[in-house]
Structure 1
């Protein structure tokens, strides 16, 4: 109401000012209306002006309020990540039973495996796995971080044991780093960038592995948290994941050699010997935190996002829009995150036929075929003021083609949606059950699935007032990252744009970016192939000296390396060099990364 009063006063002042101008130009007509110097002594004329000011103020306010709605429609096409809530997410560990699971070799739980929380009623909270989980019949017996006073270097030793009656071959071991952020980022940095040598000991035989056998996880398109939303570009997916849930990157893959084979209670160990440099001073501060609980096997992020068929409804001419209701019995525990597929059922010649309805904003051609129902749908999220507070619901509306045939029989609409359990998983206190937190329908017996991190609260989309700013920022930053002296400024802006949670550590690290330089280069995309010569961009990012104290420095550099590769021109590549000012030993030249698109 205060906003309406402000609009009303503006409109009333506008009418008075222009009434004064009108009276000076047309004094005779103004006198007939009782207007002198923009004022009138006639109470009826005065009330008429005030009433008109009230009407126009409401129209003005409505137009201003509709601007974010227009922007929302545009963002739904260009960047839907800005208008949807980010669901609750956590890290889960899958532990197969050595006796009852029947696991004697590698087995894989596919991406999107459904996990049902045990202690939620009447509707179990449902999560889905983000990464595939490779189940291996091994234990991690021990982990030791130690300083060798004879060799004068630090090393990390991981000891494994194969289950009784089982075999492990040249598989990939995925490890999740489970601990405080400071320790995780330090160990991650050393495992991915500071390995002097990697020794594999198996049953009395030692072999030397390459540091390149260790791969970071989470940077590929198929490992995105919101892979079910294809409209979000890989660039924005990568940035959003990093600022939303950085724990998804706390994984590493270790590739075992091709001739590796250990059976039946056999032992093997990996010894990671680290370089000596200024960074090794930080290892002494985290020694007590490094044990077998710090390195976890069979883990994956799990997101509170799952498919569900919404309640069907009948199309009516008298309705302009319909609420999308996932389940009439449990509406308070379910929320529609997005509409995936819409179809309509019609009774034609005593036969029920189903037709898919296309989204209105994705209509590219005139699909005037027999299978086209003549309808297009559009969904939107609306806030309703209820007695218990502000309620947000998904609605759907339909547009008709001019030549659409209207059926005399009722038309039933069915909707396949992706749903969440809102804030409920993050508010429960039951996570951390020793017998496991989740059940699953996966085809492996006796699995104990435990949440290693508590589910995060959902991240609500930006308010209407900031939606316009995000929209303009999105348009201005999407294709202007490399822009000479403005490069650092634009890079910081795009990183700040995705800092949803306003984490001070992220903001501080971004602020330490000092300069961004680039130059064209020519190099081979494949080092041993002379025919793979291409032109690319050599980028050099320099951080301020304070970045050397930041454990997350390497992780941010890793993000930037993959981020710039996604911006690479067609048939080209990027090569990133990162360093800290006045610290030559921190200079790192990252691998050449080819563009996502190549000429056929």
Structure 2
């Protein structure tokens, strides 16, 4: 039930009681049977009529007030339609390499947009899709520590004389690879607020160089990388969390995603180059991040805050709605997704509307009413637009309106 309907009902009921009382005083011969006073009604049947009329009048007034933002919504639907859509459930998902089945001898690629189903809720699967591609590697972060390194001869020889601190991450190789595994980059998710935001700043602003150590059965070797090997993730056009139409400014999508789910940006890619690899019989890798300054709260940095194999996920997927027959006397139709089971699904957006003639089987597509694709020379063309309002259980219901250019 709409929480804002009750004030409208109270105002209408107060007005009806006051108006009926004044009317009865002015015309006692015609309305004395109403028995209405300023704060109560003596006749219970008249009171029921007044309450019913107040409920209907209050609902009409509320509907009129709701229609005031229609102009602004119409403009937004043309310029920035994604700003009118609700924010679905989002989260961070981690893919893990099993230690029991550690026969991963090459990268396993999980493309962006991969569909995933959670555990059943109310006998229904909750569908998610991934937003970033994931390359599964047989690595796991086992340790981390930070120490001062100012004045060390080692940093001078590596050309990292500006470094004053070194943050080291120990990566255990799950299973001993019998052959080289190409590893051109490694994506790391920074987990655990509030330190994750501080780590994001540390890795993005204070790193002067990165040293990669490979510990193998037969010795090992090291590799030096520049500070530009650390690249932020989530700012590319193909790394979006929420859909964004081409006509909308790309920067607005970044702002919307940041305020809706800032954890989406807590990722870094460590670029090893085209010759990057996990060597044969490698058991451990160490990433040494040389920092310009010793960060505050360095003791709070833990290995659990660096997570591999992660991607943002969103509860958003395509689905057809239940078909319905059009009625010339009916203005709008509620959109119910197939097998929705009541309010199990909530409509995010309507992408396509198609009508089928039951007699001939011919089908045709309708264009959105608020769009730039109108056939202006055809007054009989049919268009559609949607309206969203809160349902009785709090979830939003979406209604489809069909109209022509001559009548809407």
CA 355–96 in structure 1, closer or farther in 2 if over 3 Å, else same: farther
Q: Which residue of 2 aligns with 1:379?
A: 386
* Residue segments in structure 2 that go unaligned for 5+ positions in a row: 1-5, 16-24, 31-53, 153-162
Give the Å deviation of 1:167: 3.1
TM (norm. structure 2) is: 0.75
SS of equivalent residue, structure 2 residue 370: helix
Q: Which residue of 2 aligns with 1:234?
A: 250
C-alpha distance in structure 1 between counterparts of 2:266 and 2:95, whole Å:
16
CA 363–256 in structure 1, closer or farther in 2 if over 3 Å, else same: same
Give the Å deviation of 1:265: 3.6
Answer yes or no: is the 8 Å Cα contact 2:77–2:84 preserved in 1. yes
Mapped pair 1:134 → 2:146: no
CA 187–377 in structure 1, closer or farther in 2 if over 3 Å, else same: same
TM (norm. structure 1) is: 0.52
- Correspondence 1:155-304 to 2 at 5 A: 155-162=166-173, 163-165=175-177, 167-181=180-194, 183-203=195-215, 204-227=220-243, 230=246, 232-266=248-282, 267-276=284-293, 280-282=294-296, 285-291=297-303, 293-304=304-315
* Residue segments in structure 1 that go unaligned for 5+ positions in a row: 11-41, 48-53, 404-600
The farther-off stretch of 99-108 and 320-329 is: 99-108
CA 215–373 in structure 1, closer or farther in 2 if over 3 Å, else same: farther
Answer yes or no: is the 8 Å Cα contact 2:190–2:266 preserved in 1. yes
Q: Deviations over 1:226-261 (max 9, x none)?
A: 125556431211111111111111100010133233
Q: Which residue of 1 aligns with 2:321?
A: 310
C-alpha distance in structure 2 between counterparts of 1:341 and 1:84, whole Å:
16
C-alpha distance in structure 2 between counterparts of 1:367 and 1:139, whole Å:
60
SS of equivalent residue, structure 1 residue 308: coil
C-alpha distance in structure 2 between counterparts of 1:87 and 1:179, whole Å:
22
* Greater fraction of residues in helix: 1
Q: Which residue of 2 aligns with 1:431?
A: none
Answer yes or no: is the 8 Å Cα contact 2:8–2:61 preserved in 1. no
SS of equivalent residue, structure 1 residue 315: coil
C-alpha distance in structure 1 between counterparts of 2:212 and 2:186, whole Å:
13
Q: Deviations over 1:428-475 (max 9, x none)?
A: xxxxxxxxxxxxxxxxxxxxxxxxxxxxxxxxxxxxxxxxxxxxxxxx
C-alpha distance in structure 2 between counterparts of 1:258 and 1:57, whole Å:
68
Q: Which residue of 1 aligns with 2:89?
A: 88
SS of equivalent residue, structure 2 residue 78: helix
C-alpha distance in structure 1 between counterparts of 2:100 and 2:239, whole Å:
32
Q: Which residue of 2 aligns with 1:323?
A: 334
Q: Which residue of 2 aligns with 1:353?
A: 362
Give the Å deviation of 1:131: 1.1
Larger RCO of the pair (alpha carbons < 8 Å, separation 6+):
2
C-alpha distance in structure 2 between counterparts of 1:90 and 1:219, whole Å:
17
CA 5–124 in structure 1, closer or farther in 2 if over 3 Å, else same: closer
* Greater fraction of residues in strand: 1
Q: Which residue of 1 aligns with 2:402?
A: 398
Q: Deviations over 1:15-41 (max 9, x none)?
A: xxxxxxxxxxxxxxxxxxxxxxxxxxx
SS of equivalent residue, structure 2 residue 201: helix
Instruction: State the number of aligned residues.
Output: 355
Give the Å deviation of 1:137: 3.1
